[in-house]
Every structure is written in structure tokens, then in C-alpha cells.
Amino acid sequence: PITPGELLCLGSSIAFSGLFYYLYRKKARVAARIQEAPKLQVDDDLPALVSAADGRCLSYIALEGIVLPAKAALSSHYHEDMQGVIQKLLLKEHRLIWNSLARSW
């Protein structure tokens, strides 16, 4: 005999497994699209290609080209022949709203 508590645990376990599998498959499809992204070169034809695209936006592309550092390139401590640069970060602040019930922003 199976008790109602056991049925509830079994049902919730199946529901959570289904939800996590759905999320896994969704992220796997996105990862596959990124892996299959077309590789474009950074050159003079890129602005024309972007303006010709739908909504002036290219989704999931890989840009290849030479990057010049603003000041000096970063050198790797582990591989002397490897250098890199830091991408300029963009910080977007969301508007905060005072919650008088929780007394927090």
C-alpha cells in the first residue's frame, strides 16, 4: 500500500525532474546555437552587414579580428607568449523603488 505522502513525494519528484530536464534542453539548444555561430571578421564590411540585417541586429555571431589595447596589453604569468586585453564593461543600473512594507530598496 502506498500512502498519500509517498504519492506526493513521487509526484513532486517527477515534476521537478521534468522541469530541470526542460531547462537543461533549453540551455543545450542555446549552447548549440552559440557553437554553430558564424564567424565574421572585423573589417569595413561589418557595418554594412549589420545595417542590412533584420532589426539591425546580428544574433549569435563570433567576431574575429585584431584588438588593440587602450594602454598596455596584459601578459600571462603562466605563458610568456600569450597577451590579452580587458573588455570595457558596461554597467546598467536599474531604478530602485522603496518598499515601505519591507523597509528596503
pLDDT 10s digits, 49-101 = 888 888 888 877 888 888 788 888 888 899 888 888 877 666 676 677 777 88
The domain tally of the chain equals 1
Q: What is the pLDDT of residue 33?
A: 85
The CA dihedral of 27, 29, 35, 39, to the nearest 10 degrees, is -110
Element (H, E) at 40: strand 39-41
Q: Which domain holds residue 62?
A: 4-84
Q: What is the pLDDT of residue 99?
A: 77
Apex 48 CA angle, 44 and 54, nearest 5: 145
More confident: 20 or 30: 20
* Amino acid identity, position 10: L
- Report if residue 101 sits inside a domain: no
Give me the residues paired with residue 63 across strands: 40
- Report if residue 99 sits inside a domain: no
pTM (2 decimals)?
A: 0.48
Whether the pLDDT of residue 32 is over 70: the answer is yes
